[in-house]
A and B are shown apart, each in its own frame.
Chain A
């Protein structure tokens, strides 16, 4: 993805219908995100039951989970807890990890990318070789090993995810910074005697903000998926704290007789990840004119 002036000058044409659909999909994504955020924020008020209450009438006479009905809108889980309530509280977990882990990854990635791209020299070489090295890591395997060996808590899981997820951002920011650093207006600033920090914060960073926003949004989707996967394997967020991944982990044994316990949280994970992908992709179109019409 070379970023040349020529590409910027001639945006490729794009059909009005496609543009509309793009915005429509972004709108769908925003609405989904809004719903999940609202569900997470207002969980204490809108959840019909306590998410950890193992209700006596929450299990059938044989001790199996209850299917969805008038009282338990989405049914109950293997311990007789209300699934809807657990999902609403689980949304808190997903969003906290999504924001914290991804924020941390974004911060590391941006720092590494800017430093390597702007200062070049041996610092840049070392940082970028290290980034290459991280690219060769089987990330999921690393995350699972780390999460399993620590006694995982919400914050440890967020740290582990940040640790394996900063690499992509670093690469993109590095490429953008190197091309920015050689542009004329930066040279002009230098000639005028601007300090390094002024160039970095007043001139380089503002140009990187669209990229950071796009990758930040797309990254939340990756983070949500990684958290769900770790929790599904039992090395992520630990029960009884509900997370969409560990609800599936806990109820796996009932997956043949009570499939809603697996597929309702599963659908929630897909919808949330999809929402962030849709919004991120639309943002890329809106914020980066060179990408317009490419897809």
Chain B
């Protein structure tokens, strides 16, 4: 176990190193010139050169990347080109909002996805099952921005139940979390359905029924706890999917998390922020996958970590 953990941690660190290298390289070779953005249109050639030198952007790629990496190991993610603030500070100040949204989204996903999956498994092959599976198909086929705008239009513009965007109260959280929850629920409902179907076939369930226990009791007390575990273990993987999608939802709802920060930075070619958010997201993805793998043997003792 300890050896496995150490190996996985080293692997994760290497993956993050690779992500940092590729992102840095892509942003370095791409045609956008951040210096022009900072200097503005009317700047003289001399000013542009000065800024370039100040930021160290005149150095060769290896030197620039080496510098970035040394800083990173000391917890220094560099400074934003335009906001003149530490990137680490900016990200830390935005992180709570993103984590709150993530929590809300996961709760919505689980409530919607698990109940849909259980219902589909119990009425397998019937109209309910078919309707629910069709719903799960639609949710994986819908782009985030369309669902965001639809919820905004219905619940904010028309009904006026929730604010149209922003941050601060519970009401602000509902629509963005529900957007992500609806989109993620299809994934969970399919997993929950097949897990539940497998468990319901097991011998001990038949025994429980044969003892004369009611259907509701067998489903809730005997089948559900076993069926739900493998699905719960997937939350780690889901974090990765979540991290990929926050840019759109945070931008549409004006949610002040790291996705919105990244989107603003992308529009202004503020490379240190883009780097920072990419790395933090990749970190979350790697940790999520690691957690999913570590939890697996506790849930299913047949799985051993090698």
Q: Which residues of A contact B (CB under 8 A)?
A: 15, 17-18, 21, 25, 130, 132-133, 135-142, 144-146, 148-150, 221, 225, 228-229, 232-233, 235, 245, 248, 252, 255-256, 259, 262-263, 266, 269-270, 273-274, 277-278, 281, 294-295
Contacts and interface: CB of A to CB of B under 8 A. Distances in A.
Given A138-B285, A256-B153, A269-B146, A146 B30 contact: yes
A256 to B, nearest CB: 5
B291 to A, nearest CB: 14
Given A145-B266, A269-B146, A277-B137, A140 B125 contact: no
Given A133-B22, A150-B31, A273 B274 contact: no
Given A245-B143, A256-B157, 10 more contacts: A21-B130, A132-B15, A136-B289, A138-B243, A141-B281, A145-B266, A148-B266, A252-B149, A262-B153, A270-B143
Contacts of B240: 136
A278 B137 CA distance: 8
Interface in B13-57: 15-16, 18-19, 22-23, 26-27, 30-32
Given A277-B137, A277-B140, A138 B149 contact: no
B285 A136 contact: yes
B81 to A, nearest CB: 14
Interface in B192-211: 194
Interface stretch (B94-102, B223-231, B245-253): B245-253
Interface string B255-294: 0000000110011010000100110011001100100000
A259 B244 contact: no
User: Which bucket holds chain B's interface residue count?
Assistant: 35 or more
Contacts of B26: 142, 145-146
Given A21-B130, A149-B30, A266-B146, A140 B247 contact: yes
B176 to A, nearest CB: 16
Interface string B124-144: 010000100110011011111
B145 interface: yes
13 contacts: A18-B130, A137-B285, A138-B243, A138-B278, A144-B262, A144-B266, A229-B144, A252-B149, A255-B152, A255-B153, A259-B153, A270-B143, A277-B137
B120 to A, nearest CB: 10
B190 interface: yes
Contact of A133 (B15, B140, B243): B15
Contacts of B299: none
Nearest to A263: B150
Given A138-B243, A228-B143, A248-B145, A18 B248 contact: no
Interface in B142-166: 142-146, 149-150, 152-153, 157
A279 to B, nearest CB: 11
A270 B146 contact: yes
Interface of B: 15-16, 18-19, 22-23, 26-27, 30-32, 125, 130, 133-134, 137-138, 140-146, 149-150, 152-153, 157, 190, 194, 240, 243-245, 247-248, 251, 262-263, 266-267, 269, 274, 277-278, 281-282, 285-286, 289
Interface of A is mostly: helix
Nearest to B156: A256
A138 B281 contact: yes
A100 to B, nearest CB: 19
B263 A233 contact: yes
Nearest to B157: A256
Given A15-B125, A149-B32, A229 B281 contact: no
A280 to B, nearest CB: 10
Nearest to A273: B141
Contacts of A142: 23, 26, 278
Nearest to B242: A138
B269 A133 contact: no
A141 B134 contact: no
Contacts of B152: 255
Nearest to A140: B244
A282 B30 CA distance: 41
Contacts of A225: 141, 143
Contact of B282 (A136, A144, A278): A136
B149 A262 contact: yes
B16 A136 contact: yes
Contacts of A145: 26-27, 266, 274, 278
Contacts of B32: 149
B258 to A, nearest CB: 10
B31 A229 contact: no
Given A149-B31, A150-B31, A138 B282 contact: yes
Contacts of A144: 247, 262-263, 266
B141 A270 contact: yes
A273 B152 CA distance: 22
A295 B194 contact: yes
Contacts of A235: 266
B26, B149, B153: which has the most chain A beta carbons within 10 Å? B149
A252 B266 CA distance: 20
A255 B266 contact: no
Q: Which 5 A-B pairs have the closest CB atoms?
A: A266-B146, A138-B281, A273-B141, A274-B141, A149-B32
